[in-house]
């Protein structure tokens, strides 16, 4: 694979991903900070896909199992994420229901599908819309941490609501799965090297 | 691999990254979890209930001794629409709890005299309680109970059936008491429409089950009983607990042995109170029919039958079936009453041989003048009892049979006899000729009035006579006469010349009489003196010569 003229890679230089210093592409480590130096993150697509797949797998128990168990007068009442959304809608608090639905259901799914889409575009050497795809990637990276809001809510409630026999809230097994899924998608987004998105486009433009 | 001179070459690695282990691991763990859950999924069971009250699909739990063993998955109406079918998913380790006789019931808040239960379900909602059975395992379809069972299956003890004519205050869950100590419980109550009796199932736990024998008597220990019987008034009450909760007591006649052990399901009579249980301490009774030609008012079922004051049986009741409705016009229509004579009361064996012996004894007794009569036991309440007695003058009647019973001769006695005699007296009174008497009396009275008038006239005449002057002068004349009489008497008083003379005369007369007396004595001794002179012997001198 060759790099189009005018790029750092073509000049045999690689940029340190941590401190931004340019160094010779062949050297294994950054001369300034000692970080690993690569032209492109190695096995970026594979890693991203693997992590995304794991996250997707974790999303299944996260949505099927109860995320929170409300023990009211000794009577446990488990609730799933979607069940909670439905309950909130029943009570008419649709803004909160929307927030939870977006943050806990829509965003993880969109993230996973976006990452899969990006990886697929890299593998298939798609050239169309590199700017949009980059935008998509940036959005994915940005929004990732906000998915943790659900987990955050659950753990705040667990810590706060401890009224003995009267009312106790316990985290459900889905909370761990959901947190794992969110963390894994964040890692996956991290692992993805956005430079791959435009490599082929520049290949195509620069020509052989 | 990168060669700065030849331009940087990006190696496109085809070697799979180690990071793929992560999704594989996740998938494996997930798959294992699914497999594990599927493998350990407990059995699904169905329980039929008359109503799904308090049962919520997905929420209601199944518990055994408050340990959760399953959850209700769905509740549906059954095919006949007369009940519900509860589908429940059991925990896998509870498989061997599901046996043929495993029982299920809904735990709801229950407040009763027996205590408060299921209070926790007030807020948390009901749950299904499971009592594991002892039968064959593998059952998956059950019929739920309406009420919690009182005793679990497999509890050692004896289960008997108590039959009562009245529902009374005995309910499922009430204690079974022996001398006031709880030894068991009433498990269920049911009305038998065929026999028209209440049937209670009572369970007596081991080791007290040996107190239940074929001679055991059960009675209702609850409530207050005021009895007016032929022996007077009697007020009895159980303990405060049984008063409030109800209960059944058991005991034995004369406190002796309970008798032979009984099998499960043996039937006993539940007596309304301790008295009637005592009065019915024997199993065997020979029925006899007596026909009273008097009112049986005051003769209650259970009244005593006494032979010269000793209870030998009781009254079963009036045999109304035997009363011929068309014969009520007949004044002599007797009232048939069935008596039960108990052989054991006469110290005869309490079995078939005793019955035979009692019949023989009675046949013989009838020949000796035995008869039955109604007697008043309590004058205030008018309670009657049946007395058996002998007529010293010989047989009153002959043994017979009527309406399928042997009969006893009857004689009207007691109040009825008194009544009859009173009636006779009244009849005689009525037969008296009172009218004639009254007429005579009035005639007499009229004559009396006339007599009185005559008397009155006579009196008036007497009065006028008394008022005349001659009568008025009478007292003055009387005074004069009396004064003259006094003067006359004074002339005759002592010292008066008449008296002195009289005295002198009397003295002389006295002397003359003495001379006459001496003469008469001399004449008496020697009548000859009248003719010749008397020669007297010299007077003897005492102590002259010795």
B50: part of which helix (H) or strand (E)?
none
For B293-351, the pLDDT digits (tens) are 877 888 888 888 888 888 888 888 888 776 666 666 666 678 888 888 888 777 777 77
How far is A98 from A112, CA to CA, in rounded Å?
Answer: 20
Contact A61 B4 (CB under 8 A): no
For A99-117, the pLDDT digits (tens) are 888 888 888 888 889 888 8
Contact A39 B8 (CB under 8 A): yes
Q: Which residues of A are less than 8 Å from B59 in CB distance?
A: 77
Contact A73 B16 (CB under 8 A): no
A122/chain B closest Cα distance in angstroms? 12
Mean pLDDT of B235-254: 71
Closest C-alpha among B160, B159, B94 to residue B133 = B94
Count of helices and strands (H, E) across chain A: 8, 5
Residue B12: which pLDDT band, with cuts at 50, 70 and 90?
A: low
Mean pLDDT of B354-371: 86
CB atoms inside a 10 Å sphere around CB B129: 22
Q: What percent of chain B has pLDDT over 70?
A: 84
Q: Are A68 and A79 in contact (CB under 8 A)?
A: yes
Q: Which residues of B are less than 8 Å from A53 in CB distance?
A: 23, 26
pLDDT at B144: 87
pLDDT at B6: 41
Residue B467: which pLDDT band, with cuts at 50, 70 and 90?
A: confident
pLDDT surpasses 80 at B256:
no
ipTM: 0.71
The position carrying tokens 């048939």 is B336
Q: What percent of chain B has pLDDT over 90?
A: 9
Q: Which residues of A are less than 8 Å from B23 in CB distance?
A: 50-51, 53-54, 57
For B447-458, the pLDDT digits (tens) are 999 999 999 999
How far is B460 from B447, CA to CA, in rounded Å?
Answer: 20
pLDDT at B1: 41
B54/chain A closest Cα distance in angstroms? 14
How far is A12 from A24, CA to CA, in rounded Å?
Answer: 6
pLDDT at B450: 93
**Residues near A41 by beta carbon (within 8 Å), at least 6 away in sequence:** A17, A47, A191, A192, A193
B31 near A CB under 8 A: no
**3-state DSSP: chain A helix, strand, coil percent, rounded to 5?**
60, 10, 30
pLDDT at B8: 47
pLDDT at A73: 73
Chain CA centroid to CA B450, Å: 69
For B368-391, the pLDDT digits (tens) are 888 888 888 777 777 888 888 888
pLDDT at A205: 57
Q: Which residues of A are less than 8 Å from B16 in CB distance?
A: 46
Q: Are B392 and B381 in contact (CB under 8 A)?
A: no
Average pLDDT score over chain B: 81
pLDDT at A200: 67
pLDDT at B451: 94
For A129-187, the pLDDT digits (tens) are 778 888 888 888 888 777 787 788 888 888 888 777 778 888 888 888 888 888 888 88
Name the residue with higher pLDDT: B45 or A31: B45
Q: Which residue blocks in A65-194 are alpha helix, DSSP H?
A: 81-90, 94-100, 107-123, 130-143, 149-160, 173-191
Q: Are B296 and B384 in contact (CB under 8 A)?
A: yes
pLDDT at B290: 87
For A65-75, the pLDDT digits (tens) are 888 888 877 66
Chain CA centroid to CA B74, Å: 57
pLDDT surpasses 60 at B88:
yes
Count of helices and strands (H, E) across chain B: 9, 26
Residue B112: which pLDDT band, with cuts at 50, 70 and 90?
A: low
Q: Are A132 and A202 in contact (CB under 8 A)?
A: no
Q: What percent of chain A has pLDDT over 70?
A: 88
pLDDT at B507: 93
pLDDT surpasses 90 at B509:
yes
pLDDT at B329: 63
- The answer to which of A2-11, B264-273, B440-449 has the lowest mean pLDDT is A2-11
A51/chain B closest Cα distance in angstroms? 7
pLDDT at B2: 40
For B389-427, the pLDDT digits (tens) are 888 887 878 888 888 888 888 887 656 667 778 888 998
Most confident range, picked from A22-26, A164-168, B166-170, B475-479: B475-479
B30/chain A closest Cα distance in angstroms? 8
Mean pLDDT of B127-133: 84
Q: Are A21 and A27 in contact (CB under 8 A)?
A: no
Q: Which residues of A are less than 8 Å from B123 in CB distance?
A: 73
pLDDT at B291: 84
pLDDT at B512: 92
């Amino acid at each position: 694979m060759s790099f189009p003229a005018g790029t750092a890679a073509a000049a045999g230089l690689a940029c340190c991903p941590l401190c931004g210093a340019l160094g010779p592409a062949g050297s294994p480590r950054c001369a300034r900070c000692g970080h690993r130096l690569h032209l492109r993150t190695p096995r970026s697509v594979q890693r991203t896909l693997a992590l995304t797949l794991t996250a997707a797998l974790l999303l299944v128990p996260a949505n099927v199992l109860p995320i929170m168990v409300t023990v009211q007068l000794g009577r446990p009442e488990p609730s799933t994420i979607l069940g909670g959304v439905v309950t909130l809608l029943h009570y008419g608090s649709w803004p909160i229901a929307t927030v939870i639905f977006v943050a806990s259901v829509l965003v993880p799914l969109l993230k996973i599908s976006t990452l899969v889409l990006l990886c697929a575009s890299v593998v298939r050497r798609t050239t169309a819309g590199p700017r949009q795809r980059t935008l998509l990637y940036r959005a994915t990276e940005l929004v990732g941490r906000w998915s943790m809001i659900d987990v955050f809510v659950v753990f705040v409630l667990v810590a706060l609501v401890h009224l003995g026999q009267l009312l106790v809230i316990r985290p459900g097994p889905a909370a761990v799965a959901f947190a794992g899924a969110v963390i894994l998608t964040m890692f996956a987004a991290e692992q993805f090297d956005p430079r791959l998105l435009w490599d082929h486009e520049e290949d195509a433009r620069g020509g052989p | 691999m990168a060669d700065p001179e030849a331009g940087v070459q990006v190696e496109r690695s085809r070697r799979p990254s180690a990071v793929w282990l992560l999704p594989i691991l996740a998938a494996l763990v997930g798959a294992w979890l699914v497999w594990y859950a599927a493998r350990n999924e407990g059995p699904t069971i169905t329980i039929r209930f008359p109503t799904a009250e308090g049962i919520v699909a997905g929420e209601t739990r199944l518990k055994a001794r408050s340990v959760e063993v399953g959850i209700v998955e769905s509740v549906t109406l059954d095919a006949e629409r007369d009940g519900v079918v509860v589908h429940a998913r059991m925990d896998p380790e509870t498989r061997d709890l599901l046996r043929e006789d495993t029982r299920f019931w809904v735990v709801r808040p229950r407040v009763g005299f027996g205590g408060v239960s299921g209070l926790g379900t007030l807020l948390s909602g009901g749950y299904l309680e499971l009592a594991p059975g002892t039968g064959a395992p593998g059952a998956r379809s059950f019929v739920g109970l309406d009420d919690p069972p009182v005793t679990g299956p497999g509890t050692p003890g004896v289960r008997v059936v108590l039959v009562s004519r009245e529902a009374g205050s005995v309910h499922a869950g009430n204690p079974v008491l022996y001398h006031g100590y709880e030894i068991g419980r009433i498990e269920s109550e049911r009305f038998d429409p065929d026999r028209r009796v209440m049937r209670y199932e009572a369970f007596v736990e081991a080791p007290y089950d040996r107190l239940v024998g074929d001679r055991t008597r059960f009675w209702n220990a609850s409530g207050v009983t005021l009895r007016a019987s032929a022996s007077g008034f009697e007020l009895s009450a159980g303990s405060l607990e049984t008063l409030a909760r109800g209960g059944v007591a058991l005991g034995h006649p004369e406190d002796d042995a309970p008798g032979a052990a009984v099998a499960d399901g043996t039937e006993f009579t539940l007596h309304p109170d301790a008295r009637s249980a005592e009065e019915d301490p024997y199993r065997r009774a020979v029925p006899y029919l007596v026909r009273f030609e008097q009112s049986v008012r005051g003769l209650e079922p259970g009244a005593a039958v006494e032979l010269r004051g000793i209870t030998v049986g009781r009254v079963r009741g009036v045999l109304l079936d035997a009363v011929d409705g068309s014969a009520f016009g007949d004044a002599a229509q007797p009232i048939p009453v069935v008596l039960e004579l108990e052989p054991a009361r006469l110290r005869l064996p309490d079995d078939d041989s005793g019955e035979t012996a009692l019949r023989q004894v009675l046949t013989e007794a009838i020949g000796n003048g035995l008869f039955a009569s109604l007697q008043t036991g309590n004058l205030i309440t008018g309670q009657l009892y049946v007395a058996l007695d002998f007529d010293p003058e010989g047989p009153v009647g002959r043994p017979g049979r009527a309406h399928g019973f042997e009969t006893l001769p009857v004689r009207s006695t007691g109040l009825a006899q008194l009544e009859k005699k009173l009636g006779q007296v009244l009849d005689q009174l009525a037969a008296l000729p009172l009218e004639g008497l009254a007429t005579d009396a009035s005639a007499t009275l009229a004559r009396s009035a006339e007599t009185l008038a005559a008397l009155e006239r006579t009196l008036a005449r007497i009065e006028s006579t008394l008022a005349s002057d001659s009568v008025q002068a009478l007292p003055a004349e009387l005074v004069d006469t009396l004064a003259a009489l006094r003067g006359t008497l004074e002339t005759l008083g002592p010292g008066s010349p008449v008296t002195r003379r009289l005295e002198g005369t009397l003295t002389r007369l006295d002397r003359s009489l003495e001379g006459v007396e001496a003469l008469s004595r001399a004449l008496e001794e020697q009548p000859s003196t009248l003719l010749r002179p008397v020669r007297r012997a010299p007077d003897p001198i005492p102590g002259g010569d010795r």
